Structure 1
């Protein structure tokens, strides 16, 4: 666990941008605060800097730098510098130009707002991509493919994204259930077993109801996948797998849930695409077969001849 705010994935690996680690860290000594401030203001330089140079620049010592790195859950300075270099290479530090909570003001023109929302969308996707690994994506996709039944726990705006995911899965003969469909998520949960998969979508990860449900599912040995934006969530310790993506979005004080919903939609679309790709040819053949059945029985309107591709 990472000093009270770590991200647990498949095997306890920490998946967090350096810029997010240094922003969320607490209880720094005066020396460590000086180190943190210097690094934040000089990321490009620090990404190739020797430890002795950093110690000199921050008026600290070699051992102080190592202790600081370990406080951020790195094995040492080299591992921390490697992550700093990744942030610099991926231009993570430049992805915060648009405030995710208030991406426009009353004085912005329509085109200004359109550009801000465009930038916010791109930034949110880039931040998400920078925080996920191939290993965890493949593991999550495998769980989805192997599950007998798939249940999605999501409320509010997030449930809209869950329904989009549900709709896509139907096309490949994978039927998912929205747990809250008839306000009976408790009864849905009690009927799941080790052959099923429960996916929890919760950006704040603070729902007491979801916490109780995921605890119960762990006791019943039901596989669970938690997708959240809160590395402090108590739900993490009970989930079989967690994908945690941090966006610069507040829990409550904001215009809307722009960044978090972009994250959910992007991740769910990505997982669907990975699942689809595992049986790509089979899915295409099945799509064509189903399409022919629907059109030949007048269930689905046929494509007009002049619209068909040669």
Structure 2
């Protein structure tokens, strides 16, 4: 997961660690050169408290944490300076410039998503989808297009997902889920009321839930079995399109599918070869 996201979320932070996190976020420009003794003095804490925070975030000590966070800050600044996720091009840009900016925006979005992707959530989420009797995907608008793409990929490994909100039957579909199924909710804002209602119901009835969102404060996260987070510099409404968020979602879902495939790689590959023979040269040939 992104260090900056972890510092903002402050999951399981003590009050002392929260104070250190708040100070770091407020003084990111000082972080690359700050000494641990100075950071301790400015936050009214101790060397050991800062080291414990660094270790909680997965680092050996303060220096490792400082180097990694500095790299992340520089990367984000470079990306922000390159393309505005909300208005990536202007009326005066040439066609070539627009195409270059759109390529940069997509690359930046995927790189940001990769830095934020929590593999400790990704691996068990893939395993859950692979074991579930049925998969129900809840998504609306642009995110439903990503859901359809993911649904199409799952067919290649003999897994079939239902787009639960496709025909306004979401309540019926939600009512049919059991603890042996899995609900996948895809929502960048993560604040849709009906999704909150469904997640509360699923949590109460022990239905496994995976949430893919761009909002670290989404109320869906607390009751999800697993959550995948990708935060982009994209506003809710003041933007030309959902370019960055949807590119990031596509990347995360592709990664989820790839992990599912890799978990039983040889069997999936053998099945692929057999199906290709049926479709290309066998009784299912349509060309």
Q: How would you bin the TM-score normalised by the shorter chain?
A: 0.7 to 0.9
1:289-308 paired onto structure 2 within 5 Å: 289-295=274-280, 296-297=282-283, 299-301=285-287
1:244-279 CA distance string (max 9 Å, x none): 221111111111111110111001101111111111
Q: Distance in 1 between matches of 2:206 and 2:26?
A: 47
Q: Give unmatched runs, 5+ long, in structure 2.
A: 11-18
* Partner Cα separation in structure 2 for residue 177 and residue 204 of structure 1: 22
1:95 correspondence with 2:95 = no
TM-score of the superposition, structure 1-length normalised?
0.78
Whose helix proportion is higher, 1 or 2? 2
Q: Deviations over 1:65-88 (max 9, x none)?
A: 99999999x78x986764442133
Provide the rounded CA distance (Å) in 2 between the counterparts of 1:23 and 1:209: 24
CA RMSD of aligned residues (A): 3.2
2:9–2:216 contact (8 Å) kept in structure 1: no
Q: State how 1:15-30 maps to structure 2 within 5 Å.
A: 15-18=1-4, 21=7
Match of 1:104 in 2: 89
Q: Which runs of 5+ in 1 are unaligned?
A: 1-14, 25-30, 302-310
Per-residue CA distance 1:121-156 (angstroms, 9 max, x = gap): 111111111112322111111111111101111111
TM-superposition CA deviations, 1:62-114 (whole Å, max 9, x none): 43999999999x78x98676444213335433222221111111121112211
Give the direction of change, closer, same or farther, for the CA distance of 1:111–1:163 in structure 2 (3 Å limit).
same
Q: Aligned partners of 1:52, 1:78: CA distance in 2, in Å?
A: 17
2:87 counterpart SS class: coil
Distance 1:294 1:212 in 2: 43
8 Å contact kept, 1:18–1:84 = no
Higher radius of gyration, 1 or 2: 1
- Quote the residue 2:224 is aligned against: 239
